[in-house]
Structure 1
């Protein structure tokens, strides 16, 4: 085969890169994102956004000098530049507004993820903030840290509100976050810093199950999304007053800052996120090679790559899932492996009979497993990984392959002449089918 007859495909694997050779005639697309420039003078722009927010008055007009402020931040599974935002925000609150530093507390909002190590917290907030500002961690497994704020209804579903009790000990809540496509909530950011950020398992079960039961995976879909609606109703009751959300470039630079009302500012940010993370593909591929990048820490995060591949592959095609899963399957959700054994329809039937507050059932894990079931029922999955053992891979429904080249060879042998698409950043991309004859991403 001549050199011009060969196409080299490259894909991230953690901080490394894998590559494989395919026939040039088999190459269909490389789902790269559009280049966006980072903003200049981040501090100046952020201060301007605090003074001229979206959908509400300036932050200084809303907060009193003796108010107790709670700032919610995401965890180490998210790339929000908290260490850049917090110094500017806290200086604004203390120096410009005269709020005592002891009136400000930072609360990590990891949802049902594990709590962070001290080193991870320092990296997240920066050494100066770590030394000078009170920082607490939300742990959804600590029932004594939760309060019951009743029940709300959204899209015909009831959502119990079990939330960290610190929200009733403060006067004003600010949430920080990053906006990217999300398979349940449509997009991350906004009210998600409250739910699931600082909620108990029953509340998170409700919103996630609402997303899992939708007719189609709601990646990139905010409208008519009961998961997003539930999240925002919970955040409203809890008292989220103001958000500072960013949209990042794939290179980790801030390209947009959106501050203000947690719904209105989030919607504007989501518009930019769709442009930044959207990847246009000409048609569905027979074989999709997808990396979990940048969501490589464990399978719980890595599955986002599979969801992106779901919207890019033909029915009964192949997905080659390149995912290191450095910390294994998942933290805090041992039931995931049990839920993963069921088909999507089986899970739907079981979920409908389980009370949302039945912690032993772990309906949050059911949501992740149902997402996986939808993907594996659409396409066959080959996985290249070092973090999952053979039993886990078998229950998830995949076939383990040693290298990317071996996986590509296997898939092309099964589908001779198959068209190959590549999603280098499956963990946060939003596939958009150009052809009107095919489905589009999550919409």
Structure 2
């Protein structure tokens, strides 16, 4: 299984359900799973993917042939999905699932319940230092959802996009942070922040990706990856293999489909967050994916009138810390030593690149980040972000003004915009 790589992908044409079905059939002809217990790890609703189709086709291939078939939602630290959200995710209600697939279960990951986690081992400080080219030197405890130990085969099924922490999402990232414990979640996110989103996003080989691949070696069960490549809502690629091969192939196609280049930077970018993001924790991807094309001293406006919270999971901590450039934390280690790395990473990713002078206390972000959301002006000011009333913005009047230095990005969050010579 380790040497197998199956896949199809096209820049111009989406895959048909028939093509996807044929790929899965070929896969499970060569991977003997009869009588085994199988757990399929899938993303939540903050990633574009044809999960109802994959749910149906995977069940066609496996349900009734394996001893047990279940699904685990790779939430990372996102809130657990309600039954209504699970229904929307897989396309069948609990009653329909019980009717068509008796005994099949769908679990939410529980990152903050120690009893639901299993330590698999650790990476030494020396190895971490080598993998991260000296950025970090600390031992990392590797823990995952303990449910994986109840199965004989793990299958990851999820899309690959440019990503602010790992360079590209997908593959082993559905383990870490997808179904991981807080230690490795915090460490990998802070590592991504040390590199900065600006120098990470859209890069295939990053310190975080190297850490993820090394940590995946500690997983004590066979692991198969179904890496999806999307363009909008269309599935353009499916690569099936181990977590390195499938990721590499999918990231190559994703780079062609999900990176748009521009000849020059813009003074103002209106990033209209895709509606699949429930809070700024996820909706800030609209900023991450457009930051590279904002000119020095320019502004990105995250336009998302329906977002009313910074984070449904981490809101109080975010409001306590605020949003700051990376060096604000690096140059005040004692002050922020107890703040989880995930919180600091999110803070710096949203604020973007910049500098901080510890002597004067002056923070100088490269660009201005403004929220045009349902979050009130006073709350925005308190966390060190700009505010604009979304009712004062008519996106239609902003479109077509690239020559004036204004760019409107619709459905922002999955496609990376960057300059042509970068």
TM bucket normalised to smaller: 0.7 to 0.9
Q: Indicate the larger mover: 193-202 or 329-338.
A: 329-338
**Structure 2 gaps, min length 5:** 1-9, 355-364
**Structure 1 gaps, min length 5:** 1-33, 53-57, 412-416
What is the CA–CA distance in structure 1 between the aligned matches of 2:41 and 2:334, rounded to whole Å? 32
What is the CA–CA distance in structure 2 between the aligned matches of 1:346 and 1:399, rounded to whole Å? 18
Structure 1 residue 304: Cα displacement: 1.0
Aligned to 2:376: 389
Structure 1 residue 258: Cα displacement: 1.6
Please say if residues 248 and 256 of structure 1, whose CA atoms lie closer than 8 Å, have aligned partners that are also in contact: yes
Matching residue within 161, 179, 185 for 2:160: 179
Please say if residues 320 and 407 of structure 1, whose CA atoms lie closer than 8 Å, have aligned partners that are also in contact: no
What is the CA–CA distance in structure 1 between the aligned matches of 2:386 and 2:28, rounded to whole Å? 52
Structure 1 residue 385: Cα displacement: 1.3
Aligned to 1:29: none
What is the CA–CA distance in structure 2 between the aligned matches of 1:351 and 1:243, rounded to whole Å? 38
Give 1:246-285 correspondences, 5 Å limit: 246-250=228-232, 252-285=233-266
Aligned to 1:314: 295
Matching residue within 99, 102, 106 for 2:66: 99
Aligned to 2:343: 365
Aligned to 2:113: 142
Aligned to 1:73: 42
Please say if residues 207 and 228 of structure 1, whose CA atoms lie closer than 8 Å, have aligned partners that are also in contact: no
Question: Deviation per CA, 1:289-334, whole angstroms, max 9, x where unpaired?
Answer: 2222255311001111111221011111122221235351102113
Residue 223 of structure 2 is aligned to residue 241 of structure 1: yes
Matching residue within 342, 362, 367 for 1:379: 367
Aligned to 1:429: 415
Structure 1 residue 51: Cα displacement: 5.0
What is the CA–CA distance in structure 2 between the aligned matches of 1:82 and 1:306, rounded to whole Å? 26
Please say if residues 147 and 164 of structure 1, whose CA atoms lie closer than 8 Å, have aligned partners that are also in contact: yes
* Distance change >3 Å, CA 82–CA 270, structure 1 → 2: same
Q: Secondary structure of the residue that 2:255 maps to in structure 1?
A: helix
* Distance change >3 Å, CA 384–CA 171, structure 1 → 2: same
Please say if residues 322 and 383 of structure 1, whose CA atoms lie closer than 8 Å, have aligned partners that are also in contact: yes
TM-score by length of 1: 0.78
Please say if residues 25 and 61 of structure 2, whose CA atoms lie closer than 8 Å, have aligned partners that are also in contact: no
Please say if residues 305 and 390 of structure 2, whose CA atoms lie closer than 8 Å, have aligned partners that are also in contact: no
What is the CA–CA distance in structure 2 between the aligned matches of 1:130 and 1:204, rounded to whole Å? 34
Q: Indicate the larger mover: 394-403 or 252-261.
A: 394-403
Q: Secondary structure of the residue that 2:238 maps to in structure 1?
A: strand
Aligned to 1:305: 286
Aligned to 1:167: 148
* Distance change >3 Å, CA 350–CA 426, structure 1 → 2: farther
What is the CA–CA distance in structure 2 between the aligned matches of 1:338 and 1:84, rounded to whole Å? 42
Give the total of aligned pairs.
Answer: 378
Aligned to 2:330: 348
Residue 122 of structure 2 is aligned to residue 151 of structure 1: yes
* Distance change >3 Å, CA 272–CA 130, structure 1 → 2: farther
Aligned to 1:17: none
Aligned to 1:419: 405
Question: Deviation per CA, 1:244-277, whole angstroms, max 9, x where unpaired?
Answer: 1222221x12122122222211111112211222
What is the CA–CA distance in structure 2 between the aligned matches of 1:64 and 1:296, rounded to whole Å? 36
Please say if residues 204 and 251 of structure 2, whose CA atoms lie closer than 8 Å, have aligned partners that are also in contact: no
TM-score by length of 2: 0.82
